[in-house]
Amino acid sequence: MTPDPSGVGADELPESDPSQAPDLDAGPRSREPAAGGGTREESGGEVTGRWWQGAVLYQVYVRSFQDGDGDGSGDLVGLRARLDYLAGLGVDGIWLSPTMPSPDTDWGYDVSDYLGVHPELGTLDDLDALVADAAARGIRVLLDLVPNHTSDRHPWFVEAVDDPSSPRRTYYVWADPAPGGGPPNNWRDATGAPAWTLEPRSGQYYLHNFLPTQPDLNWWSPAVHAEFEAILRYWMDRGIAGFRIDVAHGLYKDAALRDDPPLGPGDRPRPGGLRQVYSANRPETHGVYRDWRYLADAYRPPRVLLGETFVTDVEDLARFYGNDDELHLAFNFPFALGDFDATTLARGVDQTMTTLPEGACPTWTASNHDILRFPSRWCAGEPRRVRAALAVLLSLPGTVVLYYGDEIGMTDVDVPPERQRDPMTWRGQGGGPNRDRARTPLPWTGEPGGGFTNSGVEPWLPLGDQRLNVADQADRPDSVLSLTRELVSLRRRHHRGKVLPYHLLEQRGNSWRFTVGPLEVHANLGDAPLATRPLTSLVLSSDPTRATRPSSSTGLGRGGRGGSAGPDAAGTDRTGPDKLEAWEVVIGLRG
């Protein structure tokens, strides 16, 4: 293996000391819900209670993070070897892309066993060791849970097909052909094809809102509820800190199988041209999360439920929090998929903060394995824009989720057709860009293999431009990685364990000024310099030239990690600038 920039390789990982690990895996001790926001234990400063409030979570696409066995694909052993890097970044938790056994027709989102570990990624012992070692570093581990559908090779579905009289048949959505033949209704799957496949032996169709290899579960069946409660308990009892819930908005389907209506003028485009009114987004789904919330809150510390709530407006998003009794966190896709300009972002944040119910913790992200990478989608790979986006994102109240590589400004990779691996978007299927471009291996170094795998081994997806890598940024004070570390450190100091109040000061043109708790943020999201009101006490700037320039108006340099307020040791004033450079964000302490 090439050298590990974090200083720890897979073959020299220290044994974890369970006596030094925070108690992150205690089972349920009470049926009473966890109270209030986050608190700190008497020793160690560990946040308990709602530990995710103000936290930074980090999505690890396991196959592309670190190859631990030299086969060209990432795995749990490789991830375990990189925990010191993640601890140095300052993240509070990691969400692992699917780790459960799967035929991989949708790369883990087609689960064939909810209680195991994919053999290509490791073993259950490997996962237990990862959880223990992460806990020793104050990092919690979340798994990806897929409750909307299974693999067609899951024993439940195999039995349902082989024996239509089996109780497992009720686990899935079956329907007779429409009068005159053909699918039961007009529903379309994520590729735009009919969402129904005929099972010839029974003459019935089964539903799949994604690929035909991913049959949808029938949440009208009480047995499905019981199965998933057992699944949640199994992993929570093993010390898993919570779950990112795939297709969280989609569990229930209309019992009458009514046709979906066509997309309206304000709807986001979708393959098939239909709005999912009846094939997803049903109100009964909220009852599932009330049950799961009761279960998750019974653990100490409570386990967290993070939903992939792929809805198009904040009002729909807010419903998934319930009356502080459903999801703890819900991804804000209206924000993530909005344009990267001051007007759109400010409007989205303000609407979110005023619409979410009392006690709700907003959840912000800009990249993931489906929506591609923000350095490409928002910033066209331009470093100043990337730095500005990170500064804004990591200043927002609530929980922030980074996607692996965000911290170095990693961009999408143009994967040639012959190397593409994603059936859902293979060669333009589904009407969108191929998702493989945002799932390529993280370049740790510029050497052959990129520090991801051994030299001479072909990685499962091609490496991108290795001039952008972790090792080259690790010790450079002007790098995107150094800025990310500073922003996370600032966030841990001021946000951790709570949801800070947000207040819009001004949004005009490319200017966006707001406060979050004790911090004041001024952003110029445009190509020209912009006059601004000086901050009383500058903490940091996204502009590396300002941060290293010894002027009384430049504020904290990169050498002053953590950002002290007021004069420095030499008496230099730390007041902020009266002009922001293009794509510059400055953060200060309120006077």
List the single range of 37-41, 70-74, 246-250, 395-399 with lowest mean pLDDT: 37-41
List the single range of 61-75, 327-341, 417-431 with lowest mean pLDDT: 417-431
Question: Active site residue: 106, 110, 144, 246, which one?
Answer: 246
Burial of 515 (C-beta count, 10 Å sphere; 0-12/13-18/19+) = middle
- The tokens 């980074």 sit on which residue? 402
Q: What is the pLDDT of residue 57?
A: 98
Distance CA 538, CA 366 (A): 26
Domains and CATH numbers, the chain: 10-35+43-149+240-251+297-494 (3.20.20.80), 155-207 (3.90.400.10), 502-589 (2.60.40)
Q: Using one digit for the tens of pLDDT, what is the confidence trace for 376-395?
A: 999 999 999 999 999 999 99
Is residue 148's pLDDT more than 80?
yes
Is residue 360's pLDDT more than 90?
yes
Per DSSP, the residues of 176-236 read PPPTTSS-SS--B-TTSSBSEEEETTTTEEEE-SS-TTSPBB-TTSHHHHHHHHHHHHHHH
Q: What is the pLDDT of residue 546?
A: 85
List the single range of 500-504, 509-513, 549-553 with lowest mean pLDDT: 549-553
Task: Please give the distance of CA 60 from its chain centroid, rounded to a whole number.
Answer: 9
Q: What is the pLDDT of residue 591?
A: 74
Taking phi over 0 as left and psi of -120 to 50 as alpha, with beta for the rest, 260 belongs to: beta
Residue 588 binned pLDDT confidence (cut-offs 50, 70, 90): very high
Catalytic site includes residue 237? no
Is residue 367's pLDDT more than 90?
yes
Catalytic site includes residue 126? no
| Under 8 Å between Cβ of 363 and 306 | yes
% the chain with pLDDT above 90: 83
Question: Active site residue: 67, 308, 407, 412, which one?
Answer: 308
Is residue 69's pLDDT more than 90?
yes
Structure tokens given for 531: 């006059």
% the chain with pLDDT above 70: 86
